[in-house]
């Protein structure tokens, strides 16, 4: 036995940043044998004929070669699909998570009085503060109102005080599924511009929302010269493909692209995304069905005895408040339905569960488990 191994391991661990050692890794809950309603995944797969066509197409790819010009074709297809403004460019990411990391990395430079700052409403997407921490930015979270609307005066005051390099506005927000007031969003965007910052409109849940900020970008490009629009194909229906994209003015996108790892999007990801965009009508029909099921689910939840509050949703998730979130979560899991207990993520989320919108059958099963667990 090598008696020096523990000492060597301890010395090696000491080389890891203390804040990293103090962190908890991002946890993906085991879901074997459970109805998975915790991650806002599209419940619908490809039709069999499209599965066969995609399989044949992926099988013909040159996996022995690095990704090449096909990614430029994907960027062009995404620009058409999103209706990107003239003069914009696109950078691809391995999911939007990687793009969030790249943005933090690109903006992590010292500022007068300290480090660069990232700002976002909270509760919000956990990857914003995590990317700030890992890339050396200060994170400022501005609490939403009790109804999960933007606290516009607080946002404007925080922007004036901290002059953030990056401001995230999730549109709609996760985990609240809120699509914030358009006027308030625009005033926040304008305030960031006065201090020379970048705004990222995170539209991960755009397929389920009644409007997109891309319309504002096209209508007033000069006013939005500091705005980037981030989307993902995960909620489009390709969570397993891991493809995110960032749209914005070409000079700004070019700077972000400089910190992107070479070949970050594989030929398999790229081709699967191109294939999906060629059959966008299939995914659009799925999104339309999920929007209908979401509205029905909200009505059923509001009629369920014991549910204290159900918020309106512009995403494929619904936030509910129950008397005891931990007990209800465990009860649902015991009944083989996995949802997300967000009650400890932020004080405003006390007692809250986040439910994914699924098929009619999945929603019925989830409702039955929730009813029995309250």
State both tokens at 303.
Answer: 């009629």
State both tokens at 159.
Answer: 């922007």
Please check whether residue 93 is in contact with residue 264, taking contact to mean a CB–CB distance below 8 angstroms.
yes
pLDDT at 3 over 70: no
Cβ count near 336 (within 10 Å): 11
pLDDT of residue 114: 86
| E strand segments, the chain | 35-36, 88-93, 117-122, 138-143, 166-170, 198-202, 227-232, 244-249, 309-310, 317-321, 337-338, 340-341, 352-356
- Quick one: what percent of the chain has pLDDT higher than 90? 91
Convert the pLDDT of each residue in 53-66 to its tens digit: 999 999 999 999 99
Listed range (234-243, 246-255, 297-306) with the worst mean pLDDT? 234-243
Q: Do domains 5-47+281-373 and 66-278 have the same CATH topology?
A: no
Q: Give the mean model confidence (pLDDT) for residues 304-333.
A: 97
- Spatial separation of the C-alpha atoms in residues 313 and 209, rounded to whole Å: 8
Q: Give the mean model confidence (pLDDT) for residues 337-351.
A: 97
Say which residues have a Cβ less than 8 Å from residue 306's Cβ, sequence separation at least 6. 322, 323, 371, 374
pLDDT at 30 over 90: no
Instruction: Give the CA distances from residue 170 to residues 24, 92, 263, in Å, rounded to whole numbers and listed in that order.
Output: 24, 19, 27
Rg of the chain, C-alpha, whole Å: 22
Q: How confident is the model at residue 24 (pLDDT cuts 50, 70, 90)?
A: confident
Instruction: Give the CA distances from residue 186 to residues 116, 122, 148, 160, 224, in Å, rounded to whole numbers and listed in that order.
Output: 23, 18, 18, 16, 10
pLDDT at 1 over 60: no
- Give the class (CATH, top level) of 5-47+281-373: alpha beta
Q: Facing residues of 111 across strands?
A: 114
Convert the pLDDT of each residue in 98-129 to its tens digit: 999 999 999 999 887 789 999 999 999 999 99
pLDDT at 215 over 80: yes
pLDDT of residue 6: 75
- Spatial separation of the C-alpha atoms in residues 73 and 75, rounded to whole Å: 5
The distance of Cα 99 from the centroid of its chain, to the nearest Å, equals 10
- Spatial separation of the C-alpha atoms in residues 148 and 142, rounded to whole Å: 11
Topology of the domain comprising 66-278: 3.40.640
Cβ count near 236 (within 10 Å): 23
| Ranges of each domain in the chain | 5-47+281-373, 66-278
Instruction: Give the CA distances from residue 110 to residues 92, 116, 234, 257, 344, in Å, rounded to whole numbers and listed in that order.
Output: 27, 6, 34, 21, 33
DSSP string, 147-210: TS---HHHHHHHHHHH--SEEEEESS-TTT-----HHHHHHHHHHHHHTT-EEEEE-TTGGGSS
- Spatial separation of the C-alpha atoms in residues 257 and 173, rounded to whole Å: 25
The distance of Cα 279 from the centroid of its chain, to the nearest Å, equals 23
Q: Give the mean model confidence (pLDDT) for residues 295-315.
A: 97
- Please list the helix, strand and coil fractions of the chain in percent, rounded to the nearest 5, in that order: 45, 15, 40
Q: How confident is the model at residue 2 (pLDDT cuts 50, 70, 90)?
A: low
Q: Which of 186, 227, 256 is nearest to 87 (CA)?
A: 227
Q: Give the mean model confidence (pLDDT) for residues 357-372.
A: 98
Q: How confident is the model at residue 4 (pLDDT cuts 50, 70, 90)?
A: low
Say which residues have a Cβ less than 8 Å from residue 97's Cβ, sequence separation at least 6. 127, 244
Strands 337-338 and 317-321: unpaired
Q: Which of 46, 24, 26, 20 is nearest to 135 (CA)?
A: 20
Each residue of 116-136: b (16+ CB within 10 Å) or e? bbbbbbbbbbebbbbbbbbbe
Q: Give the mean model confidence (pLDDT) for residues 125-142.
A: 96
């Amino acid at each position: 036995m090598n008696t020096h191994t523990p000492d060597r391991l301890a010395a090696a661990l000491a080389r890891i940043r203390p804040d990293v050692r103090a962190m908890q890794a991002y946890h993906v809950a085991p879901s074997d044998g459970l109805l998975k309603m915790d991650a806002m995944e599209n419940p619908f797969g490809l039709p069999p004929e499209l599965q066969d066509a995609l399989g044949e197409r992926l099988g013909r790819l040159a996996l022995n070669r690095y990704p090449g010009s096909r990614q430029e074709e994907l960027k062009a297809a995404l620009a058409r699909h999103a209706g990107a403004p003239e003069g914009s460019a696109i950078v691809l990411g391995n999911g939007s998570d990687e793009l969030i990391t790249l943005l933090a990395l690109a903006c992590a430079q010292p500022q007068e009085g300290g480090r660069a700052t990232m700002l976002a409403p909270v509760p919000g997407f956990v990857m914003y503060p995590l990317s700030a921490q890992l890339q050396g930015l200060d994170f400022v979270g501005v609490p939403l109102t009790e109804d999960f609307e933007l606290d516009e005066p607080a946002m404007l005051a925080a922007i004036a005080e901290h002059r953030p390099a990056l401001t995230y506005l999730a549109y709609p927000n996760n985990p609240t599924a809120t699509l914030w007031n358009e006027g308030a969003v625009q005033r926040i965007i304008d305030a960031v511009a006065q201090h020379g910052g970048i705004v990222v409109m995170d539209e991960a849940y755009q397929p389920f929302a009644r409007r997109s900020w891309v319309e504002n970008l096209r209508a007033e490009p000069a006013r939005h010269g500091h705005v980037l629009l981030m989307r993902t194909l995960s909620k489009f229906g390709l969570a397993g493909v891991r493809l995110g994209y960032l749209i914005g003015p070409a000079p700004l996108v070019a700077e972000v692209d400089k910190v992107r790892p070479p070949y970050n999007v594989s030929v398999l990801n790229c081709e699967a995304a191109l294939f999906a965009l060629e059959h966008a009508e299939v995914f659009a029909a799925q999104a339309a069905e999920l929007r209908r099921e979401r509205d029905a689910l909200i009505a059923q939840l509001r009629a369920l005895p014991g549910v204290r509050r159900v918020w309106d949703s512009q995403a494929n998730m619904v936030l509910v408040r129950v008397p005891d979130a931990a007990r209800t979560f465990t009860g649902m899991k015991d009944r083989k339905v996995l949802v997300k207990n967000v009650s400890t993520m932020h004080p405003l989320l006390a007692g809250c569960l986040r439910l994914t919108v699924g098929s009619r059958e999945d929603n019925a099963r989830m409702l039955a488990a929730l009813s029995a667990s309250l």
